[in-house]
Amino acid sequence: MSLDAIDTSIAFGGLKVLTNVSVQVERGRITGLVGPNGAGKTTLFNCLTGVVRPQQGSVRIDGRDISALPLDKRIQLGISRTFQTPRLDLDASVLDAVMLGFYSRHKPSLAASFVSTATRRRHDAQLREKAEALIEQFQLTPNPHQRSGALSLGRLRLLEVARAIASEPQYLLLDEPAAGVDENDRQLLARAIRNAAARNVGVLLVEHNVGFVAELSDHMLALVRGEVVAAGSPHAVVNDPEVVTAYLGGQRVAA
Ligand SMILES: Nc1ncnc2c1ncn2[C@@H]1O[C@H](COP(=O)(O)OP(=O)(O)OP(=O)(O)O)[C@@H](O)[C@H]1O
């Protein structure tokens, strides 16, 4: 079971951004994607989520071609993502923001409108409990009714990840989740990512912090100018000469 971009190429106004790029995000594994600024990481992300369509190649989920499906349909199939800049309603409470994750995937059906108010209340209470457990696990705030906007940038990133996990995705795509996050929050984030993979979620982790990616990933991929220059174990990728030169400015990162 995997989410795959196969042989994808995309150009914006003549500028080649991805050239024959393939990536496989397997259920239960963490795939790390690294590359210098402008390498095409977010564009690859956007291909997987349906924000942009590749001009060549395909995207498959568990073997099914979803290249033509829009973002909302992919969410229903179990793909959840976060953004480089968290997209949250800052006026909503932390609890509501996390609970939105549950509803983003499982929209109330027509059948649900026939269930009794008591059943619905019980269901909502269960979701609230699950959301509160996530808020505690991520140590987001001691007060779940606090305005999201009162959280630090690091906590907002964690809140976005908690909301993505609340949608119970099969595939979780994280775009620079550790940027601007302090060491304590980074540990919480790492634990949450490992927990997700342990629950058979396939994780794609895009990060500038190569050490963080290498520590967490089972498999890594490096993009340089829209091409895959290295793929394999974290150790192999961070020590690949082309990666060292292009991404790390000639300095090795141990893994
Ligand atoms: N919609 C677009 N229209 C035109 N050019 C784009 C578009 N999206 C991305 N690009 C260009 O494609 C290239 C790759 O951008 P992308 O954001 O995918 O890289 P990245 O590896 O995620 O970079 P960063 O680490 O800085 O976020 C850049 O040169 C960018 O300017």
Per-position b or e across 213-223, b if 16+ CB within 10 A of its CB: bbebbebbbbb
Instruction: Give the number of the atom of ligand 1 that is nearest the alpha carbon of residue 223.
Output: 21
Residues 6+ apart with CB under 8 A from 191: none
Given CA atoms 25, 30, 36, 42 in this order, what sign does their dihedral have?
A: positive
Predicted ipTM? 0.94
Instruction: Give the number of the atom of ligand 1 that is nearest the alpha carbon of residue 13.
Output: 4
CATH architecture of 1-78+169-255: 3-Layer(aba) Sandwich (3.40)
| Rounded (10°) CA dihedral 29, 30, 35, 40 | 70
Cα distances (Å, whole numbers) of residue 251 to 123, 161, 187, 238, 241: 53, 31, 24, 10, 10
Pocket test for ligand 1, best of 12, 52, 176 (most atoms within 8 A of CB): 12
Q: Using CB atoms within 10 A of its CB, is residue 12 exposed (0-12), middle (13-18) or buried (19+)?
A: exposed
- Please report, for the chain, the start and end positions of each structural domain, with discontinuous segments joined by +: 1-78+169-255, 90-168
CA of 206 to the centre of ligand 1 (A): 14
Instruction: Spell out which residues line ligand 1, taking CB within 6 angstroms.
Output: 12, 17, 35, 37-43
Q: Give 105's pLDDT tier (boundaries 50, 70, 90).
A: low
- Which residue type does 162 have? A
Residues 6+ apart with CB under 8 A from 29: 197, 202, 203, 218, 219
Q: Is the predicted pLDDT of residue 178 greater than 60, yes or no?
A: yes
Q: Is the predicted pLDDT of residue 201 greater than 60, yes or no?
A: yes
Enter the pTM of the model.
Answer: 0.86
Q: Give 81's pLDDT tier (boundaries 50, 70, 90).
A: confident
